[in-house]
Structure 1
Amino acid sequence: MDNKKIVIIGAGYGGILTAKKLAKKFKKDENVEITLIDKKPYQTMLTELHEVAAGRTPEDSIRIDLKKIFAKRKVNVILDEVTKINFDGKVINAKNDSYKYDYLVVATGSQPTFFGIPGAEEYTHKLWSYEDAVNLKEHILNMFREAAKEPNREKRQKMLTFVVVGGGFTGVEMIGELGEWKNRLCKDFYIDKEDVKLYVVDAMPKILPIFPDNLIRKTEKRLEKLGVEIITGAGITQVSKSSVVLGDKGTINTNTVIWAAGVEGSDLVGDMDIKQQGRKRIVTNDKLQSLDYENVYVVGDNIFYIPEGEERPVPQMVENAENSAPLVAHNIFVDIKGGEKKSYKPAFHGAMVCIGGRYGVAHLGMPGKFFGLSGFFALFVKHFINLVYFFQVAGFNKCWTYLLHEFFHIKDNRSLVGGHFAKASPNFWKVPLRLFVGYKWLEEGLNKLPKILSNPSDIFLIPAPPSADANSAASAAAGAASQAVEAVQALPVPEFIKNIVDWSMNAFFYNGDGGFTTLAQVFQTCMVIAEILVGLMLLAGLFSALGSIMSIAMGMMIWSSGMAPTEMLWYLAAGISLIGGSGSTFGLDYYVLPVLKRWWKKIGFVQKSYLYTD
């Protein structure tokens, strides 16, 4: 069998998911080569660009290294820019090389469209790539820097006027972020908030036109609260370096026009000699094959396909990429291996829009059964959906960094939970607590160790069997333990937990003669060793997070057995406090963990499973 070459052009949402699905299907097939071509070494989270552009998250939060995504997977990632495709010869021409294929997947995504408006492309800031977001952020900062020292009022007002063109998802999210960021910028650059003017402009009669009116009203109310003026029914007729003309609704003098007024297919698709429709989108059949070439498949934004029973083509949304990728991977697999192809029957579950980091709206459900959400619940759903996608792309690694960027490292309380998770304090404040808890556990363990060594059968850490013989040695030991417990007030245990513990004790630790099993001796010995080990770990600050978790677990076991004094509450509370990196200050974790982290990331299955943090 000749080798089959599958080439995917574009490392966006659709391209990456298709490559991963194909790699999984052909992971044991040496006769299939999978190649992904993109001109950048990373995937950009296009739906999160506004967060970087408006200073809510750091620049690296919207990028994922392609090498990381495809580590130890059967995908050859090539950095090159495709210039032309010879469909008849099955050859892809690029700037650095040419590439043959048997099956081609077009996943080049979209780009902004300017509708032929004079000056729109030349004088506006786009928001469609990592570079766009970074450049826009720097431009906004520079406008505030210059405005802070500009004595001319007219020039200063132009610098502090920001116009977003487009009242769809991207436009509303961008202006919402600016509305939140404005407060921080004014504070940092000593500017009166009243001097900053924010506008969102759209030619349609309302913003977010695909949303129901009640959600639109909530969006408008939120934007107004953020100081945003909404101008609808205003078609842009011209953009210059210092203004934007709103048709018959006048002109806004500004140095900053952000374009979010629509998208079209990439120029590469536009130049293809292949049937297209609807702003450079490739017309496909129900199997997502090009109508002109059966070996050319299309995913994501590049698809022009009207599902059965629908009037409009599939939308250019992330969910379309997620739905189309596995179907294309399946159909290519069937082309090579045989079987039945599937037809594309997408089910779209709505859309979510965040208006800054603290408020959002969402329209969710299934056709005919949609419902609206706003505020906390809408943002919660948005973050959850993002995590589901990121888990598909880069697993635990990306999900962890996403949570850090969105909740734990957030500034100015710009998240759905405010700044509660972001209130970090230096770990050196935890050093005295860590040493104290470590000393107490070590003391407990060392006091019990002689008893274990002298007589392992002397059980004193496990409650006495309810049917113990008063004359037995086990009963005597249990009596001594009971007296010790009675000397202090034990913490109460709920009845249902007590029943579970009683059952487990009877199953594993009590024998039929009213005594203890060998397993009880082993358990008690392990508990004493664990107390000593936890004490040493906390004192040394080595694997302190693990030691803290073990401290909590031992405290919970002692409590559930009905033998925990009230001071056990201190162990539990302290253990929770010490989990978060308490050994990184004046502890061995400071030296050991970075070395282990570098070693861990080199392991093949760790890279493939994304089981590491950056």
Structure 2
Amino acid sequence: MGGFGNISLGLVVGAVLGTAYALALSLPTRDAGAAADRAMTAAAFGLPIWGAVNVILLPLLAGQTPHWTAEGMRGLFPALVGWLLFGFALGLLTTGAVRLAERLFGATPTPPEPVSPEVKTCVVILGGGFAGVTTAINLEKEFRDDPSVAFTLVSETNALLFTPMLAEVAASSLEPTHISTPLRSSLHRTRVVRAQVAGIDLENRRIKLSDREETLPYDHLVLALGAVSSLPPGDGIAEHALEFKTLADAIRIRNHVIDAFDRADAEPNPARRRALLTFVVAGGGFSGAELVGALNDFARGMLADYPNLSVDDLRIVLVHSRERILPELSASLADYALERMRARGVTFELNARVSAARPGVVVLQRMELEKTDATKKPEPV
């Protein structure tokens, strides 16, 4: 402490630092060697304090420059030894003081282990799409101060898929990771179970999972399973058509288009080459219209990489059962979209349905405008 040049100032600084040492160090344990560990830890603080106080602070207070040079630091070496001894002694003294206080006044009570609140209500959400995840997020907010309510979300995948941009993945303009968010990063209190639902035991209030023996109990059940495509059996559509609903579907379509181009590039027969580069999209709603537009741009952009193929070999066809596409929009907007895509090379087959499919063949059924167009059915459970 001699580096201070003033005994009173040294005592004040020593008292302040001693208090800081005691507060910074954890209470000593009763393990063998605890006193030595505490003393060595306290001594280690002496080096940075020596650098801050003796090398920098005191010279600045005296109107001098800090002692950065090796010669200047060698002159302060006794102060460094003093700080190290001060810390070592302080560690031993505080350990002894704590032990003495425990003998006189009793040991410091150990804080009780936190007790997890009893879960009284189980909410199970089936489905990891927009509806299921939004429900879980809002329930977490609603019951954020009530730990007795537990949430479980069952999903076939571990990520929330932004389905409006599936067409961009199918057309290779976006990577799959760009439109999917891990469920666990969005849900903080909800347990995420990746599994398929095999059934619901309404009487016993339990969820049966297809790939495990575990069943999930519930007090409240939310069904947010979405829908699956309704493909009538027996006409070959289910066997030969590519669905467009999941991330895997979009990747499969993209790979199929690339494979078709590679096969067409090696095909010498013009008719066969044209058949390989004919792509048919059934359904002219939002998803179908966006997919056919994205595939058209994707395929025409690929022609530059295949010198053996020409634009006349490529056909992108949209089949729709009504007299205009995009029935969700006004007639003027739908007509504008149709004309723009037609100008870019898309072929439209309106008032027609895909009635059957065989390898390399799509059978269309001409029809009058119908009032209903049920292409989806509820998710089976």
Q: TM-score range by the shorter chain?
A: 0.5 to 0.7
The equivalent of 2:169 in structure 1 is: 52
Match of 2:380 among 263, 267, 279: 267
Provide structure 1 residue ranges, at least 5 long, that are not aligned to the other structure. Answer: 250-259, 269-614
**Alignment partners' CA distance in 2, 1:31 and 1:164:** 49
Q: Tell me, yes or no, if the aligned pair for 1:112 and 1:261 is still in contact at 8 Å.
A: no
SS at 1:125's partner residue? coil
**Alignment partners' CA distance in 2, 1:15 and 1:248:** 39
Q: Tell me, yes or no, if the aligned pair for 2:230 and 2:375 is still in contact at 8 Å.
A: yes
Q: Tell me, yes or no, if the aligned pair for 1:7 and 1:36 is still in contact at 8 Å.
A: yes
**Alignment partners' CA distance in 2, 1:26 and 1:160:** 54
Counting only pairs closer than 5 Å after superposition, residues 189-268 of structure 1 correspond to structure 2 as 189-190=306-307, 191-248=309-366, 262-268=375-381
Q: Determine if the alignment matches structure 1 residue 128 to structure 2 residue 267.
A: no
The equivalent of 1:147 in structure 2 is: 264
Q: Return the index of the structure with the highest Cα Rg.
A: 2
The equivalent of 2:203 in structure 1 is: 88
Provide structure 2 residue ranges, at least 5 long, that are not aligned to the other structure. Answer: 1-117, 368-372
**Alignment partners' CA distance in 1, 2:318 and 2:291:** 9
Q: Tell me, yes or no, if the aligned pair for 1:165 and 1:261 is still in contact at 8 Å.
A: no
**Deviation by residue 1:561-593 (Cα, 9 ceiling, x = unmatched):** xxxxxxxxxxxxxxxxxxxxxxxxxxxxxxxxx
TM-aligned CA deviation for residue 62 of structure 1: 2.0
Structure 1 residues 117 and 48: CA distance shift in structure 2, 3 A:
farther
Q: Tell me, yes or no, if the aligned pair for 1:117 and 1:236 is still in contact at 8 Å.
A: no
SS at 1:215's partner residue? helix
**Deviation by residue 1:441-469 (Cα, 9 ceiling, x = unmatched):** xxxxxxxxxxxxxxxxxxxxxxxxxxxxx
**Deviation by residue 1:498-522 (Cα, 9 ceiling, x = unmatched):** xxxxxxxxxxxxxxxxxxxxxxxxx
**Alignment partners' CA distance in 2, 1:126 and 1:63:** 19
The one-letter amino acid paired with 1:146 is R
Q: Tell me, yes or no, if the aligned pair for 2:324 and 2:335 is still in contact at 8 Å.
A: no
**Alignment partners' CA distance in 2, 1:39 and 1:245:** 33
Q: Tell me, yes or no, if the aligned pair for 2:119 and 2:147 is still in contact at 8 Å.
A: no
Match of 1:78 among 174, 193, 215: 193
**Alignment partners' CA distance in 2, 1:213 and 1:24:** 41
Q: Tell me, yes or no, if the aligned pair for 1:111 and 1:265 is still in contact at 8 Å.
A: yes
Question: How many residues are matched?
Answer: 256
Structure 1 residues 164 and 112: CA distance shift in structure 2, 3 A:
same
The one-letter amino acid paired with 1:263 is K
The one-letter amino acid paired with 1:45 is F
Q: Determine if the alignment matches structure 1 residue 65 to structure 2 residue 179.
A: no
Counting only pairs closer than 5 Å after superposition, residues 439-588 of structure 1 correspond to structure 2 as none
SS at 1:176's partner residue? helix
SS at 1:150's partner residue? coil
TM-aligned CA deviation for residue 209 of structure 1: 2.1
The equivalent of 2:94 in structure 1 is: none
**Alignment partners' CA distance in 2, 1:210 and 1:27:** 38
The equivalent of 2:88 in structure 1 is: none
SS at 1:236's partner residue? strand
**Deviation by residue 1:34-69 (Cα, 9 ceiling, x = unmatched):** 111112111122221111001111121121111221
Match of 1:27 among 144, 153, 177: 144
- Cα RMSD of the aligned pairs, angstroms, is 1.8
SS at 1:199's partner residue? strand
- Alignment identity in percent? 27
Q: Tell me, yes or no, if the aligned pair for 2:161 and 2:181 is still in contact at 8 Å.
A: yes
TM-aligned CA deviation for residue 266 of structure 1: 0.9
TM-aligned CA deviation for residue 182 of structure 1: 2.2
The equivalent of 1:112 in structure 2 is: 229
Q: Determine if the alignment matches structure 1 residue 11 to structure 2 residue 128.
A: yes
TM-aligned CA deviation for residue 213 of structure 1: 1.7
Counting only pairs closer than 5 Å after superposition, residues 407-426 of structure 1 correspond to structure 2 as none
**Alignment partners' CA distance in 1, 2:305 and 2:319:** 28
**Alignment partners' CA distance in 1, 2:348 and 2:374:** 15
SS at 2:160's partner residue? strand
Normalised to the residue count of structure 1, the TM-score between the two structures is: 0.40
**Alignment partners' CA distance in 2, 1:261 and 1:48:** 23
TM-aligned CA deviation for residue 2 of structure 1: 6.2
TM-aligned CA deviation for residue 150 of structure 1: 0.9
TM-aligned CA deviation for residue 194 of structure 1: 1.8
**Alignment partners' CA distance in 1, 2:374 and 2:314:** 23
TM-aligned CA deviation for residue 28 of structure 1: 2.1
TM-aligned CA deviation for residue 15 of structure 1: 0.3
The one-letter amino acid paired with 1:267 is P
**Alignment partners' CA distance in 2, 1:204 and 1:45:** 27
